[in-house]
Amino acid sequence: MGFIQLHQITKFFNQDFKPAVDSVDLDIEKGEIITLLGPSGCGKTTTLRMIAGFEQPSVGKIQIGDLVVHNDSRSLPPEKRGIGMVFQDYALFPHLTIEKNVMFGLKKMNTREKRKRVKEVLELVGLDDYGRRFPHELSGGQQQRVALARALAPRPHVVLMDEPFSNLDAGLREKMRFEITNILRKANTTAIIVTHDQKDAFAVSDRVVVMNDGVIQQIATPKEMYRCPKNCFVAQFVGKTNLLTGTLCQDLKHVDTHIGKVCLPQRTENLLDQVKVSIRPEGCHLVEQGRYTGKVERVTYSGEYQEVELRLPSETGVAEPMVIYAPVEQEVEVGSVVSFDIKPELVALVD
């Protein structure tokens, strides 16, 4: 059983509409870093706020450690739940020094213990020399680390962070992904992070929870999620993909599609006739004599790779669009006909 458990959590803001969060079941292990990932309005923040106790579920049960923090008959206030919250805008007190900001959440300690704990967590986030400064004298990334230090100071059971990277520019964002995970690991804390950015989610979490329309679509490690997306929504939301429909072959290992036979990574247990396959652009490699051929429509250079948009001849007569990635050093000319192979490891059947 998980250290944090959400059981059938549902939230109606308005009884006439469908719920903002719908029957969410989630088990989180101690020390795990989990992200809630999904498009705007899918219910991430609402879920986080219900765990924190800022919002009441309409139905369901939430347990943190041994403590039932919410069920039909009782609901503990946020300060009784053993959570540390990092808000999107950090919510530091501008008129208090960094030390005082961090000390704020420490209630049941004497002054000496408080000082010691503040020093510890400021060291943990690498800001031990900044205690006397005020928030406005710190950079965005530093302010965020202060907010995290403040959340960690009372040794909460779980740290909750809503969009921790959204206020940061691209460079700092990448750095902070690394630093935040490092700090959370060192503090040995369980954490739930909300983000709408797949890169953030993949970089920081043990497992990712993809949500859409208030419903959990898939819970998996980043690698599983990318390689074996469960349905079309996940396949398209998490990275780029090509979705093709086809018929499952008798060997249960190939799918007959408009562009030809596509090999699956292993035999499937799926017994449906008509299926959908997701083929990742990274799984397609330009080669001299590949199994598939297509005409190059467009090439977009990203620096790390080239995104090549192809049109493939298809049985239906309508050319099938397909996106593949090519290494930057490879010459790919618009209008030329190229051939490629598909690696089965990056092919998945989806619902």
Which residues neighbour 109 within 8 Å (Cβ) at sequence distance 6 or greater? Answer: 117
- 21 or 347: whose CB is closer to Mg ion? 21
Task: Name the minimum Å distance from CB 212 to ligand ATP.
Answer: 10
Q: Are 334 and 294 in contact (CB under 8 A)?
A: no
21, 26, 37, 45: which one contacts Mg ion (CB under 5 A)? Answer: 45
Return the SS3 of 32.
coil
Task: Name the minimum Å distance from CB 44 to Mg ion.
Answer: 5
- 45 or 218: whose CB is closer to Mg ion? 45
Contact characters 293-312, ligand ATP, x per CB under 6 A: --------------------
Please report the DSSP string for 99-140 in residue order: HHHHHTT--SS-HHHHHHHHHHHHHHTT-TT-TTS-GGGS-H
Task: Name the minimum Å distance from CB 205 to ligand ATP.
Answer: 16
41 is a site residue for ligand ATP (CB under 6 A): yes
- 36 or 118: whose CB is closer to Mg ion? 36
- 192 or 346: whose CB is closer to ligand ATP? 192
24, 26, 32, 46: which one contacts ligand ATP (CB under 6 A)? Answer: 46
- Burial class of 169 by CB neighbour count within 10 A (0 to 12, 13 to 18, 19+): exposed
- 77 or 335: whose CB is closer to ligand ATP? 77
**What does 291 bind: ligand ATP, Mg ion, none (CB cut-off 5 to 8 Å by kind)?**
none
Q: Are 26 and 219 in contact (CB under 8 A)?
A: yes
- Burial class of 54 by CB neighbour count within 10 A (0 to 12, 13 to 18, 19+): middle
Length of the chain: 351
> Ramachandran region of residue 122, left (φ > 0), alpha (ψ -120 to 50) or beta?
alpha
Considering only residues 11 to 40 of the shown chain, the ones binding ligand ATP according to CB under 6 A are 13, 20, 38, 40
Tokens of 78: 């946020």
35 is a site residue for Mg ion (CB under 5 A): no
Q: Which residues bind Mg ion (CB under 5 A)?
A: 45
